[in-house]
Structure 1
Amino acid sequence: MHVPDGFINAPVSVAAGVAAAGAVAVSLRGARRELDERTAPLAGLMAAFIFAVQMLNFPVAAGTSGHLLGGALAAILVGPYTGVLCVTVVLLMQGILFADGGLTALGVNVLDMGVTTTVVAYVVFRLLMRALPRRRSTVTVASFVAALVSVPAAAVVFTLIYWIGGTTDISIGKVFTAMVGVHVLIGIGEAVITAATVGAVLAVRPDLVHGAKGFTNPLKLRVDGRLIDAAPAAPAKPAKAPKPAVAVASRSARGLLAAGLLTALVLAGFVSYYASSSPDGLEKVAADKGIDRNAKEHASADSPLADYGVKDVDDARLSGGLAGVIGVGVTVVVGGTVFWAIRRRRDDGRDLTAGPAAAPLTEKV
């Protein structure tokens, strides 16, 4: 659903850019409360994983494909504020390096794919978590429904933005019907991917799922044949068990991060070659309804990585695979740096006010 240059006029694009900048600023402040030494690396990985999975277009109807938007997945795993930042990092990398999504339309894309999907999904998720029975399966079910709803919600927001600032004179009713109809189908794919990913993390490290905090039982780790809480309370006198538990929990988190990064690299570097080549939902609707009449060539069309291929590499499989691997690598580095800086900002603020008796960070693993 990446909006290219030329779909939306300049005044509305500028207004969307200002609104998106405000949303990112709010998210930067909110992310300080969501990120800690465990979740900051996960957030960087989350951005890279979204980048990788967005390369995997899946067929949804005759001549149409869809791909993950990622807002729901990010919001549930790392929190809504951090989720907005994750998707924003992905959109920046795609627009600047891969000529995917117009640079003048970056604000529109952040509002639509980043803010709308994340906020709508998280609100739906929290409502379902309160209404449904208190079981671990509820987290997966709520993730599925939240992701499903978030995609047509983004289609509605695009339609509203186009109604206000579209550059072609097209019946808005026809655009609305076509956009929502195809994106309901895409939402099913989004829901399956989101629920599967959340369920996988929940099975391994439920303490790292932001949306499940206070809902699932404390993580238990087996140390020397005994089950120990991953985050035990500080004992009155030194005890040997908590230290191994913390060490095992740290290794578990590192293993999850390594597995996630490897998965993202395989998806982007290999599986993406087999993705559907059909236009995605927005591209199909734009071509059918004439929205793309005034589309402009991307400013980064001559980028060495434009269109997810490496320039001057003739083998399509190798070119796409290298581009995917580079994209994952750059995204995880940029995202990881951003989230590490946010966490440091939070730590610095806490250290200025915390007394000498403040609980050590290692107890929060």
Structure 2
Amino acid sequence: MHVPDGFFDAPTSVATGLIAAGAVGVSLQRASREIRETGPALAGLVAAFVFAVQMVNFPVGAGTSGHLLGGALAAALVGPWTAVLVMSTVLLVQGLLFADGGLTALGTNITLMGLVTVVVGYFAIRAVLQVLPKRVGSVVPAGALGALVSVPLSALAFTGLYAIGGAVEIPLGKLTTAMVGWHVLVGLGEAVITAAVLSAVVATRPDLVYAVRHLQPELVLVDADGNRSTVAADRPVATRPAGRSLGIGVAVTFLVAGVVSLFASAHPDGLEFVGAKLGFDSAARDSAVASSPLADYGVSGIGNAQVSGALAGIIGVLVTIAVGLAIAKLSSLRSARSTADADKVA
């Protein structure tokens, strides 16, 4: 659902740019606690994994496709503030290197895919965890539901923005029905992917899942007289270093970006499909970096399309890991500096 340049007028693009900048700024300040718990390496890996999986469009039907947005998954793995930074990193790399999403629309894309999906997904996860049994496995259905609702609500947010500053006048009712309808189907795919990833991580390293750490599991004790009492159980803790698990995650990420992505559906995604059907795709303009050597997820100068695509995916993963790590460390440094300044004042 990457929005290209030209879909929105200048005031709307500026407004979403300010919203995105504010969200990233606040997240840089607030993410430090989450990063202390999960580590900057996990934030970089999650960013790279979301980048890789977004390369894999899956068929939805009627000549359209969808791909993971990833906000709910990132929020479950590394926490909401870090997830905003993760998603912003992915969209920044995609926009600057791969011409995926317009540069003037970067703020819009961060708002829709890096903010709405994270906020909706995270609060949906927390709400579901309040009613499900207090056990680690509950994170999987909670994450799936959070992913499912985050996608159509992001599409609904797009519709709201288009009603304010869309470049081509089209019936709002038709746009709402088409965007939400198709993205409910995309959300189903998002839910399946999110559940699969969370299941794998929870089964092997539940201590690396941020949402699990904030469960308050309870044990029911029964004494000799049959009286029942409830006590808090221990949360999952690390039983072995995370290096090996992160290494496996990096390997899987490279596999997705360099191999699985080659089998992605060639059909347009939900936004492109709706734009073509309703006629506002004509407003799209090429990105300012459309001539980038990595534009459209291929390496210019390499004639073999599969080799070009695989290499572009691998390069994208490496860059995303580097940028994600840098942003995570920046958040930690800002927090340390703020703490030091507070100590001096005290």
How far has the Cα of 1:48 moved from its partner?
Answer: 0.3
Contact 1:136/1:216 (8 A) holds in 2: no
Question: Which letter maps to 2:94?
Answer: Q
Task: Note if 1:43 corresponds to 2:34.
Answer: no
Q: Aligned residue for 2:92? A: 92
Q: Aligned residue for 1:338? A: 327
Aligned partner of 2:317 among 316, 324, 328: 328
Question: Which letter maps to 1:273?
Answer: L
SS in 1 for 2:267: coil
**Change in 2 beyond 3 A, CA 1:11/1:207:** same
Aligned partner of 1:249 among 240, 248, 255: 240
Question: Which letter maps to 1:284?
Answer: F
Q: Please list, as runs of the form range in 1=range in 2, the aligned pairs for 1:32-181 lying within 5 A after superposition.
A: 32-36=32-36, 38-181=38-181
Contact 1:230/1:249 (8 A) holds in 2: no
How far has the Cα of 1:131 moved from its partner?
Answer: 1.4
Q: Deviations over 1:126-151 (max 9, x none)?
A: 01101122233211110110100000
Query: What RMSD in Å do the two structures reach over aligned CA positions?
Result: 2.0
Which 10-residue stretch deviates more, 133-142 or 116-125?
Answer: 133-142
Contact 1:72/1:118 (8 A) holds in 2: yes
How far has the Cα of 1:353 moved from its partner?
Answer: 7.3
What is the alpha-carbon distance in structure 1 between the residues aligned to residue 336 and residue 42 of structure 2?
Answer: 17
Q: Aligned residue for 2:272? A: 283
How far has the Cα of 1:346 moved from its partner?
Answer: 3.2
* TM-score normalised over the length of structure 2: 0.91
Contact 1:41/1:340 (8 A) holds in 2: no
Gaps of 5+ in 1: 219-228, 232-245, 355-365
Aligned length: 328
What is the alpha-carbon distance in structure 2 between the residues aligned to residue 212 and residue 181 of structure 1?
Answer: 32
How far has the Cα of 1:77 moved from its partner?
Answer: 0.5
Gaps of 5+ in 2: 219-234
How far has the Cα of 1:349 moved from its partner?
Answer: 4.9
Q: Aligned residue for 2:187? A: 187
* TM-score normalised over the length of structure 1: 0.86
How far has the Cα of 1:337 moved from its partner?
Answer: 1.4
Contact 2:212/2:236 (8 A) holds in 1: no
Q: Aligned residue for 1:224? A: none
Contact 2:60/2:66 (8 A) holds in 1: yes
What is the alpha-carbon distance in structure 2 between the residues aligned to residue 11 and residue 352 of structure 1?
Answer: 38
SS in 2 for 1:35: helix
Contact 2:38/2:78 (8 A) holds in 1: no
How far has the Cα of 1:347 moved from its partner?
Answer: 4.3
Contact 1:37/1:343 (8 A) holds in 2: no
Contact 1:39/1:208 (8 A) holds in 2: no
How far has the Cα of 1:68 moved from its partner?
Answer: 0.3
